[in-house]
Structure 1
């Protein structure tokens, strides 16, 4: 993949590691990072060498703190000139949600494992809302300060309703900067799937990503697509679509290999969580 200014990108076997790399501003995003994240998701979609993605951030203070307000007006003729309204009327509006979420913006159905290593707030939820698995360091915190600074929290809570109970979304959105959700609490409500010491975060994410990436790509991606379809569609509609996904996600060679593994009596080593 081409080089980036605001991201670090590395492929380790079948796993891509995408690192937000603006630690000096707590990995907040400007228009350059927005475009690079969008380009990264699009590139991964077409990269058959990668079966899973780990998304993390530089440093241990913050995963992402949303929009870099000091840089929000920076842009060029090739992209949005601002993070926010563009054009003569409010009907022409650009939002980070058009650029950042891996599934909405990138149409990426390869599993994304987010490794959260510090504060995750505001616009960070554009990324976390469409991650498939979230692993957090013990010191990670989650909050949305929009209302404290006179801004409506709109897209972030809408997206986080995919991952959090209604009351928790309302609390995190309405409490603003007055409260931060701990990694432990995020685990209790299902936002986070695992909490580990900060020193173990990368290794834990690697174990999960490598295990997923070792499995047949078509079956994994169809599974991801099925789960997100079920989030987006009605129950009966999702079941109808599922009949197609079963066929699309099952490769005869992969199935034969799996059957042979099962018949051999060998079992995949597993760990408890």
Structure 2
């Protein structure tokens, strides 16, 4: 399947997805949501893919959220008449994130520039987020008299409540810098824009070199723990070690004192 709103490539165990609507600040549309649904199906079933890198075509924004200017055929939200059937409505952006589509291969998101509103659908299901030093983060919903709910609730697992509330309530009047995003653990690393893609690729390569059963089992156990009580989460975690370790460790020799190269972060 060819894509019109994203670029997709698989190489050396890494699936690279590039948001490709720079003329519209890489905002997402119905077509993009549908294309992501197809991509996640491919990624989930392709054993050649071990890790995902999500990035955006160069422009002032990584993603400015939903395209609300493109008209009924573009805007990802349902048409006004659909509100007469409220129990048949679903989240129009639920296809954007891998975890919502049962993909447990880790995703690294490389943010550059503006990251606003609906872009948090991508961040909220990322395993590692890095950003360029010129990145800014904000949620404009309330500035347009819209309730901000799905994106900030999804972010509760990643950043403190007080930071979410400030971002939501101030809307367009304040933007979070890359430094602030690092301080509150929204991102884990800041690079220059020129180095961003290479750094994301280096992190992905490190992950791709590890056993996929160990990686995917770890990702799934941790994400599932977010919606479970502590005791149940611990029991679930033990189950994953009992299932995954015999497969991932088959033929592995663990030597005491074996040295591995590492970096200090």
Q: How far 1:152 sits from its partner (Å)?
A: 0.4
Query: Counterparts of 2:80 and 2:123 in 1: how far apart (Å)?
Result: 20
Corresponding residue number in structure 2 for 1:12: 11
Corresponding residue number in structure 2 for 1:198: 193
Check if 1:213 corresponds to 2:208: yes
Corresponding residue number in structure 2 for 1:133: 128
Query: Counterparts of 2:12 and 2:234 in 1: how far apart (Å)?
Result: 34
Query: Counterparts of 2:173 and 2:24 in 1: how far apart (Å)?
Result: 21
Q: Secondary structure at the match of 2:147?
A: coil
Change (3 A) 1:72 1:158: farther
Select which of 255, 258, 273 maps to 2:249.
255
Change (3 A) 1:6 1:244: same
Q: Is the 8 A contact 1:85 1:92 kept in 2?
A: no
1:166-211 deviation line (CA, Å, top 9, x unaligned): 0001011111000000111000001101011111101111111110
Q: Is the 8 A contact 1:72 1:82 kept in 2?
A: no
Q: How far 1:15 sits from its partner (Å)?
A: 0.6
Corresponding residue number in structure 2 for 1:22: 21
Q: How far 1:89 sits from its partner (Å)?
A: 2.6
1:123-174 deviation line (CA, Å, top 9, x unaligned): 0001110100000000011000000001000101110111110000101111
Corresponding residue number in structure 2 for 1:61: 60
Query: Counterparts of 1:84 and 1:248 in 2: how far apart (Å)?
Result: 47
Under a length normalisation based on structure 2, what TM-score does the superposition of the two structures give?
0.94
Q: Figure out how many residues of one structure are paired with residues of the other and give that number.
A: 264
Q: Secondary structure at the match of 2:245?
A: coil
Query: Counterparts of 1:115 and 1:85 in 2: how far apart (Å)?
Result: 37
Which segments of 5 or more consecutive residues in structure 1 lack a partner in the other structure?
none
Select which of 170, 177, 189 maps to 1:175.
170
Q: Is the 8 A contact 1:83 1:95 kept in 2?
A: no
Q: Is the 8 A contact 1:221 1:249 kept in 2?
A: no
Corresponding residue number in structure 1 for 2:38: 39
Select which of 235, 255, 268 maps to 2:260.
268
Q: How far 1:72 sits from its partner (Å)?
A: 5.0
Q: Is the 8 A contact 2:108 2:127 kept in 1?
A: yes
Change (3 A) 1:66 1:85: farther
Q: Is the 8 A contact 1:142 1:182 kept in 2?
A: yes
Query: Counterparts of 2:102 and 2:72 in 1: how far apart (Å)?
Result: 27
Which stretch has the larger CA shift, 51-60 or 90-99?
A: 90-99
Which segments of 5 or more consecutive residues in structure 2 lack a partner in the other structure?
none
Under a length normalisation based on structure 1, what TM-score does the superposition of the two structures give?
0.91
Q: Is the 8 A contact 2:33 2:93 kept in 1?
A: no
Select which of 68, 77, 89 maps to 1:93.
89
Q: Is the 8 A contact 1:37 1:100 kept in 2?
A: yes
Q: Is the 8 A contact 2:78 2:92 kept in 1?
A: no
Q: Secondary structure at the match of 2:47?
A: coil
